[in-house]
Amino acid sequence: MNALEHQLTYPLADTLPETGRTLEVAPGVRWVRMALPFALDHINLWLLRDQINGPNGKREGWTIVDCGISNEATRAAWEQVFDNELDGLPVLRVIVTHLHPDHIGLASWLTERWSDADFECRLWISGTDYNGARMSSNPDSKATVITPAFAASHGITDPEALQMIATRGGHYATMVPKVPERFRRMIDGDEIAIDGNRWHCHVGYGHAPEHISLHSPALGVLISGDMVLPRISTNVGVHENEPEGDPLKRYLDSLERMRALPADELVLPSHGRPFRGLHTRIDQLVGHHDERLAEVMTACAEAPQTAADLLLVLFKRKLDLHQTTFAMGESIAHLNALWHAGKLVRRLDADGVYRFSAT
């Protein structure tokens, strides 16, 4: 546990749900934990006790929040949950906080698995992320990939690294091979009735196009998705399809809006452990990015910098290819934030590379 984590409270301490099992964290709210084949080795998913009025009357069952990636291990773990943890009741709907593969990967499998001739288990997601997922699940899509040309334009020069980046085309589709044909749209300010409790939708930008977190005032619970994580900072990156984007400002503005929620709510994050201390964690995340922005400004005042130049400034550890693609997006995001704020100047040099310098 790092020093910042000591400022948060973890009601369940180090207790984790076993694979295929659940832990109840609030009345009618159960925690599921699935493995991921990355350095970030797990995702937290949630089961909410529910009832829905279907075409043939009221149905009792469960709502799933987020899905895990599409692979055999995750499907097998879900089957264990279905066998052991649903009290013999069906899944009624699947809510997805945003389009990233560990959250939406099995949405199609789950909704098909729990639909029948009399009832369709529906995907609930924001419209922007639904359409982004549909586009990105096409193996030929480049929408969420840093291509070699984009990486080179921000300072990646190593031919081997560029070749490895080239092989990642269609990577999203390997983890999200299919997205449901129909969905129910969630937007900021919506209220969803789940087992008699009203869950409020809170939009967040910067990490995903239209991330939805869910807050139940009655239960004192916030399902934060990836917007607020207890141990790591959320990835906020610029992507190929929006090269002049300013996701960092949008993310920080979204965090400020979350301060309107009570400070002592139980936060259920997608990675890490459930915690209390929402406002404290927001302060920590804002402070983290303020420090990174200050480091970028210092570097750019000394000499013009590319996003690749700043990787060692922002990430003081060795990165693998998977981490480097995300880190490049974050580096560009910090540069773009300062550029849009008028604190940096961006120029495209004769070698086709963008460099940033202090005004």
Q: Which CATH architecture has domain 5-297?
A: 4-Layer Sandwich (3.60)
- Tell whether the model's pLDDT for residue 163 goes beyond 80: yes
What mean pLDDT, rounded, does the chain reach? 95
Q: What is the pLDDT of residues 310-338, one digit of tens each?
A: 999 999 878 887 788 889 999 999 999 99
Domain ranges for the chain, please list them: 5-297
Render pLDDT for 18-70 as a digit per residue (tens, 0 to 9).
999 999 999 999 999 999 998 899 999 999 999 998 777 889 999 999 999 99
Say if residues 328 and 336 touch (Cβ distance below 8 Å).
no
Q: Is the pTM of this model over 0.85?
A: yes
Residue 188 pLDDT greater than 70, yes or no? yes
Give the model's confidence band at 287: pLDDT under 50 very low, under 70 low, under 90 confident, else very high. very high
Contact 12, 26 (CB under 8 A): no
Residue 111 has pLDDT above 90, yes or no: yes
DSSP string covering 286-352: HHHHHHHHHHHHHHHHHS-B-TTTTHHHH--S---HHHHHHHHHHHHHHHHHHHHTTSEEEEE-TTS
pLDDT at res. 144: 55
E strands within the chain?
Answer: 23-26, 29-35, 42-54, 57-65, 91-95, 122-125, 183-185, 191-194, 197-204, 211-216, 221-225, 266-269, 275-276, 344-348, 354-358
